[in-house]
Structure 1
Amino acid sequence: MHRLSRRVALAAPALLLATGAGAQEAWPSRPVTLIVPWAPGGSNDVAARLLAPALEARFGQPFVVENRPGGGGSLGMGQAVRARPDGQTLLVSSASNHVFHPLMAHTLGYEVQEALLPVCMLVDVPNVIAVSNALGATTMQELIAKARGTKGGLSFGSSGVGSSNHLAGELLRLRTGIDLIHVPYRGGGQAIADLISGTVPMVVLNLPTVSGPASAGQVRIVAVGSAERVRSRPEIPTVQEQGVPDYAVRSWTGLFAPKGTPVAVMEKLASALRDIMDTPATKQRLIDMGSEPIWMDPAETRRFVRAEYDRWGPVVKAAGIKAD
């Protein structure tokens, strides 16, 4: 056995660091990809595109939003799971991806909450029920009456199978007893376009997706699905206020990273986003869009997502809702 010289032995730790054994590349060292597992125009996409320029200014590297719709968000999630865990690929995820779709699907091939680690929670996003102008309904009771008077029931669009919007529509069906036919889209932007044209009479989507067309008079929001009214649109009553008991569905958007991503990178990201979202301009922009800033650190986010999963599991099972 050869013995290392004293000089070589003393130099070994420095050599290991220099050659990368136990060393970490400076982050970010190149453009960072923010995967949004939905088509452009949805609330996840809107939040990602709002925050990306601020992250770029903070870290000096581009933060590129990449839309990967399909499979109820599972295509984009799968890409994030398979990505190298170096902080250069992140997932802008939601209740749809982390709670509802995993509860409904059985073919993901991985445990979402283990494969994708929480960086931070970003915003709470209320769902809304909106109708085409042609339908002629202005309240929940009028909408329910229209559904009951339509042979075969009303079609409702959502941002995809297993999305929070899908579950919100199914919960409305269960709570009211009306017939609703789910029409899944690859994202909220496509669903709202068909609502404007009258191709579908009704949608359940996130407020930021619907807010602009509603303000322009292209569609009508009849209710918000949250437990309380939204401060950016306080004139819109909740579903519960309009006679539908025990109805509240929340969505949210958070940032997640592949398992194995360095803790230091995730902490740096979480801290930066806390500062960015605390600026008056960003906070007001999010509120104006219909979102509520709810930054949480990684540990808080993990507990929050777990609680949501446990809460909705029995509901999905009782309703017999499946994504595949």
Structure 2
Amino acid sequence: MNTTRRGLLAASGAALAMPALAAWPERTVSLVVPYTAGGSTDVVARLLAPRLQAILGQSFVVDNRTGAGGSIGTAAVARGPADGTVFLVSSASNHVMYPIVAPGSMPDPRGAFAGVSQLADIPLALTVANRLGVSDMAGLLALLKREPGKHSFASSGVGGSQHLAGELFAMRAGVDILHVPYRGGGPALNDLVAGQVSLAFLNLPTALPQAEAGKVKILAVAGEKRSALKPDIPTVTELGVQGFAVRSWTALFAPRATSPEIVTRLSAAVRQALEEPGMKARFAELGAEAEVSTPAELDSFVREEFVLWEPVIRAAKVTAQ
């Protein structure tokens, strides 16, 4: 094959891999994170930004706009320019759960945003206090059913993934447990270790060191499948609680009116970045699993999440007050 033809084929392959770019303003692109710096959503955004800059040749920065359960930053992006200069790095708690818990706090994400790509999943782990004296799911369920209303579950706050995982577990398992909210997963774990609460759905990377030290017991993970971080831990569904699956996910969204060409180009760049071995390794260090999707797949997934969580939140009477 001559070099000219080889070059043409290479150029053609690159074009297929990275769709042609519509007019993208030559300005810095902001990835808005509606949470404070240092949390898992923020860390994912900060890992992604320099890789997108290298792939697209466009300057990217992370912009933390916090407050009101993430609704302030989310609303700012929804009402901001749809010219490819502002995107939202959001989570299950902020993008699906909080709008249901606090209606009117932000524009409905289903209409206000177009999906770009999923980014990461951080597994939740069903973790129990040692004082319960249970070593498996059967023992936990037997105890909770024998002593209804006497046990509590901790979470990092009202209306988030950890809280609603506990509510869904109670519904699907047919048990009566009291929610105790904390200001973050760390304080919740501390009281679980001390035996002040009975159980919690905590981020697996947070709970794992204490479990390995023998201070708490991890019984299961909350997702549809086992975690690559600890594949020996079964899922809640595997252990007999049917209809239970909770994903603590992070994803990238664009204002709805953003050019489809820009959304497609950015989605392809995200896929390229997250498939790099180095990025996968960095995510694994955080206890996160890199996840990618097409824009259409993400839009569909968000709608499915609303279908799952709306009845759970209504039945549990969860509000932001």
SS of the equivalent of 2:299 reads: helix
Give, as a single letter, the amino acid of the residue that structure 2 aligns with 1:298.
P
The aligned residue for residue 61 of structure 1 is: 59
Structure 1 position 313, deviation (Å): 3.5
Within the candidate set 140, 156, 162, 1:165 is matched to 162
SS of the equivalent of 1:250 reads: coil
The aligned residue for residue 276 of structure 1 is: 273
The aligned residue for residue 245 of structure 1 is: 242
SS of the equivalent of 2:123 reads: strand
SS of the equivalent of 2:234 reads: coil
Q: Distance in 2 between matches of 1:184 and 1:75?
A: 22
Within the candidate set 218, 243, 252, 1:221 is matched to 218
The aligned residue for residue 182 of structure 1 is: 179
Structure 1 position 283, deviation (Å): 2.4
- 1:48-197 alignment to 2 at 5 Å? 48-58=45-55, 59=57, 61-64=59-62, 66=64, 68-71=66-69, 73-132=70-129, 136-144=133-141, 147=144, 152-188=149-185, 191-192=188-189, 195=192
Q: Cα RMSD (Å) of the superposition?
A: 3.4
Cα deviation 1:112-145 (Å, max 9, x = unaligned): 1111221212234432212345655443344445
Q: Which runs of 5+ in 1 are unaligned?
A: 1-22
Q: Distance in 2 between matches of 1:43 and 1:136?
A: 32
Structure 1 position 169, deviation (Å): 0.4
Structure 1 position 146, deviation (Å): 5.4
Give the conservation status (yes or no) of the 8 Å contact 1:126–1:207: yes
Is 1:26 the equivalent of 2:56? no
Within the candidate set 292, 297, 310, 2:294 is matched to 297
Q: Which runs of 5+ in 2 are unaligned?
A: 1-21
Cα deviation 1:29-85 (Å, max 9, x = unaligned): 23x4433334556542342233233234444635225262543x3233223324333
Q: Distance in 2 between matches of 1:144 and 1:40?
A: 38
Q: Distance in 1 between matches of 2:160 and 2:124?
A: 11
Give the percent of matched residue pairs that are identical in Structure 1 and Structure 2: 44
Give the conservation status (yes or no) of the 8 Å contact 1:158–1:188: yes
SS of the equivalent of 1:106 reads: coil
SS of the equivalent of 1:296 reads: coil
Cα deviation 1:6-35 (Å, max 9, x = unaligned): xxxxxxxxxxxxxxxxx96634x23x4433
Q: Distance in 2 between matches of 1:211 and 1:57?
A: 34
Q: Distance in 2 between matches of 1:319 and 1:103?
A: 12
Q: 1:61 to 1:186 in 2, by over 3 A?
A: farther
Instruction: Pick which of 243-252 and 267-276 moved more.
Output: 243-252
Give the conservation status (yes or no) of the 8 Å contact 1:38–1:187: no
Is 1:256 the equivalent of 2:253? yes
Q: Distance in 2 between matches of 1:87 and 1:189?
A: 36
Count of residues paired in the alignment: 299
Q: Distance in 2 between matches of 1:63 and 1:192?
A: 33
Q: Distance in 1 between matches of 2:242 and 2:215?
A: 29
Q: 1:190 to 1:269 in 2, by over 3 A?
A: farther
Q: 1:109 to 1:26 in 2, by over 3 A?
A: closer
SS of the equivalent of 1:242 reads: coil
Q: Name which one, 1 or 2, has greater alpha-carbon Rg.
A: 1
SS of the equivalent of 1:266 reads: helix
Q: Given the two structures, how large is their TM-score scaled by the length of structure 2?
A: 0.76
Structure 1 position 279, deviation (Å): 0.9
Instruction: Pick which of 154-163 and 312-321 moved more.
Output: 312-321
